[in-house]
Chains A and B, each alone.
Chain A
Amino acid sequence: MFLIISIVGALLSLDATVVGNFMISRPIVAAPIIGWILGDINTGFAIGIIFEMLWVNLIYVGAMVPINLTIFTTLVLGVNYTVPHRGDAFTMFVILIALPIVYLFKHIEILVRTWNSRMARKVDDCINNHKSACITFVMAYSITFFFLASFVYLIIVLPVTEQIAKVLYFQLPLTFIKALEASYSILPIIGFAAMFNHFFQRSLKHHKAAHNGQQH
């Protein structure tokens, strides 16, 4: 199962920056799809909506490389589904341990983009040598490279995270499990707060701009 969701996760993550930008990489779409593959679209939807609300502000702008939400969603759902009759506490635990792990992928993404600089220089050389087919080749190569980086990362990290989560979770005292359960029910509330702030601050900003007649 890890193999299938790694492929799907890697394919969906291409949409974030590399191909299309149809927003199918957003957790609100990616999570139900992965949830459906794993047999529970409803839980996938619920988790996807929480992530979408929490990270409503998170987008790739300019040279900024934020955490990859598609990879994060795939990781959380993939590990979450390995435990039968899992509760909210386990989901929350997986979220907590997946967050630092997904930061590693941010560095991989930076490395891929640095590698792309080399590819761009290769295109320069090709043009100087009058080989224009090289452009299409480099494009295909870069897309495949990003896909493979995401896929390899997921296929390695998914079983590792699963083992860490299972070993640690079943050692936890009941107090902590109760706390995790309560924390999970608070997550949507943090999400609503994040969304409220997003719309509120933007409406204030745009209202001021409209009021001052700063249309440009």
Chain B
Amino acid sequence: MIQNRDLFYIGLRSFLLQAVWNFERMQNVGFVFILKPLLKKFTNDKEGYFNALKRHLEFFNVQPYMVSIIAGLVVAYEERMKIEGVDFTKEIRTLKSTMAGPLSAIGDSFFWGTWRPFSALIIILLFYLTQYRHFILGAYYSNEYYFLILLLFIVCYNIPHLYMRFWGVFKAYHIGTKVITYVRRWHDFKVYTRIHLLALILLAAGFFVFMIVQNFNISTIFALVGLEIVFIIANYYKVSVVKLIYITTVIVFLLVLLRIIA
């Protein structure tokens, strides 16, 4: 009944999941929008179709990339309801409410907590290397080069993103709840630790290149490393970035004033 094309369209429609994000039922309208064409296929009459739409209008919230998995599972259940004539509405409701939390945790942790900052870090390092070659070695870079760096970030970040959007729907539809065993592979703490350690090394390299680009002398570098440690400690104790920016400006102002007075 369901063709690959239908599943592909679910993946496409999932890009609009949060279009009507609201405080009451969060992504409910977006989720109904994703399922709408297929629900029409699965119901025999108008009444059944509108009842199905109504069922999916209840509270729903999940990390937007992980919706593909829930949508794939729901489609599989809805199809079974049509073919077998068994009522799975309770199972669908339970599935939506119980799987959203763990899937969101995996999605947040991998995509937003790890992959996005890591992709950004690669671009930051590349940018400061470009600056080093530009200011220190006198190399010239055209706008196209900068666009290439931008494109690298977008491609690097979105490969796993798009993979999850489409793979999730297909896999969840075909193998059902067993998909969780595959998703768990995305949540390997050892891999995360390695990525974060690599990120820390890259970050240190980025900081080093940044200091060279700024043409700091040895004593300033020591002072800046000290300052970096102070900021790290402040950040560790949850002092917000906005506060840090204002506090730094005031302190620098006082220092400049003191220097002038002295």
Contact = CB atoms under 8 A, between A and B. Distances in A.
Interface of A: 17-24, 26, 28-29, 32-33, 36, 41-42, 45-46, 49, 52-56, 59, 61-63, 92, 95-96, 99, 113-114, 116-117, 119-121, 123-124, 127-128, 130, 132, 135-136, 138-139, 142-143, 175-176, 178-180, 182-183, 185-190, 192-203, 206-207, 209-210, 214-216
Given A33-B150, A175-B260, A196-B232, 16 more contacts: A17-B21, A19-B15, A24-B154, A28-B120, A41-B147, A54-B245, A99-B245, A114-B22, A116-B23, A120-B29, A123-B29, A130-B46, A179-B249, A179-B252, A183-B248, A192-B210
B136 to A, nearest CB: 15
A128 B192 CA distance: 47
Given A123-B29, A198-B117, A178 B228 contact: no
A117 B24 contact: yes
Contact of B196 (A62, A119, A199): A199
Interface stretch (B1-9, B69-77, B167-175, B235-243): B235-243
For the side of the interface on B, what is the size category?
35 or more
A188 B127 CA distance: 13
Contact of B235 (A179, A182, A186, A193): A193
B154 A22 contact: yes
Contacts of A61: 108, 112
B123 interface: yes
B125 to A, nearest CB: 10
19 contacts: A22-B161, A23-B157, A28-B123, A95-B245, A113-B21, A117-B23, A120-B29, A123-B29, A138-B29, A139-B30, A179-B249, A182-B252, A183-B249, A190-B244, A192-B207, A193-B231, A215-B184, A215-B188, A215-B189
A21 B127 contact: no
Contact of A41 (B16, B143, B154, B260): B143
A192 B249 CA distance: 17
A196 B29 CA distance: 38
B189 A202 contact: no
Interface string B217-256: 0000000100110011011100001101110110011011
Contact of B114 (A21, A195, A202, A216): A202
Interface of B: 15-16, 18-26, 28-30, 32-33, 36, 40, 46, 49-50, 53-54, 57, 61, 64-65, 102, 108, 112-114, 116-117, 120-121, 123-124, 127, 131, 143, 146-147, 149-150, 153-154, 157-158, 161, 184, 187-190, 192-193, 196-197, 199-200, 203, 206-207, 210, 214, 224, 227-228, 231-232, 234-236, 241-242, 244-246, 248-249, 252-253, 255-257, 260
Given A130-B46, A183-B249, A210 B227 contact: no
Given A92-B249, A130-B46, A210-B190, A182 B256 contact: yes
A135 B29 CA distance: 7
Given A17-B21, A120-B22, A132-B53, A56 B193 contact: no
A190 B203 contact: no
B15 A20 contact: yes
B150 A32 contact: yes
A111 B123 CA distance: 35
Contacts of A210: 189-190, 192-193
B80 to A, nearest CB: 23
B22 A117 contact: yes
Contact of A136 (B33, B154, B200, B228): B33
A52 B21 CA distance: 25
B158 A138 contact: no
Nearest to B146: A41
Contacts of B53: 127, 132, 135
A178 B108 contact: no
Most buried by B among A54, A188, A190: A190
A132 B22 contact: no
Given A19-B15, A210-B189, A190 B124 contact: no
Most buried by A among B33, B64, B244, B249: B249
Contact of A176 (B131, B146, B253): B253
B161 to A, nearest CB: 7
A175 B256 contact: yes
Nearest to B216: A185
B23 A113 contact: yes
A141 B96 CA distance: 26
